[in-house]
Amino acid sequence: MKKLILSVTIVALLLLGLGAPAFAAEQKDGGYSPEMQVVIDQLKKFTDEKAAVDKHLETFDTLDYVVFSNQDWVRLHESHAQDVIVNWPDGHHTNGINKHIEDLKAMFVYAPDT
């Protein structure tokens, strides 16, 4: 995935840097040519989406490695609603975050390295 992002970034930078003379004919109103504006808009969309993905991954890492792995149950509300309904692999289900926390605590008794 990082190679793909790096490749797309390099291509975009090449288009902006080396390809700019072909696309960047200034318009009378001081803007870029339509072709160059398309490239600029695509690059902005890409960087905005990458920033959002990076933020989501950071949140996931916190919730998974800090809250869940360290059993920091007082923070479970950051990823679960108070009225969460959980369907477990064994077929039972629970209603509410407090019951879910009880089940999670029990899970760490029989599987402490979860």
Residue ranges in the chain assigned as alpha helix (H): 2-17, 20-23, 34-61, 97-110
**Confidence (pTM):** 0.56
The pLDDT, as a whole number, for residue 23 is 47
- Contact (Cβ atoms closer than 8 angstroms) between residue 39 and residue 27: no
For each of the chain's 114 residues, which pLDDT tens digit applies? 555 555 555 555 555 555 555 544 545 555 899 999 999 999 999 999 999 999 999 999 999 999 999 999 999 999 999 999 999 999 999 999 999 999 999 999 988 888
The pLDDT, as a whole number, for residue 112 is 87
Q: At what angle do helices 2-17 and 34-61 cross, to 10 degrees?
A: 150
d(CA 108, CA 114): 7
